Amino acid sequence: MGAPAVVTTAQVVCAMGAAPATLTVLPVSRVLVEGKPVATVRDMLPLVNVPTFGMCMSLANPSVATATAAALGVLVPMPCVPVLTGPWSPGSAKTLVGGAPTVQQSSMCQCAYGGVVQVLLPGATKTFIG
d(CA 95, CA 25) in angstroms, rounded, equals: 17
Domains of the chain, first to last: 3-123 (2.60.200)
What pLDDT is stored for residue 29 in this prediction? 76
Cα atoms found within 13 Å of the Cα of residue 58, Cβ hemisphere only:
21
Say what the pTM is.
Answer: 0.92
Sign of CA dihedral 61, 67, 68, 70: positive
What pLDDT is stored for residue 24 in this prediction? 97
What pLDDT is stored for residue 1 in this prediction? 58
d(CA 37, CA 85) in angstroms, rounded, equals: 23
pLDDT tens profile 39-79: 999 999 999 999 999 999 999 999 999 999 999 999 999 99
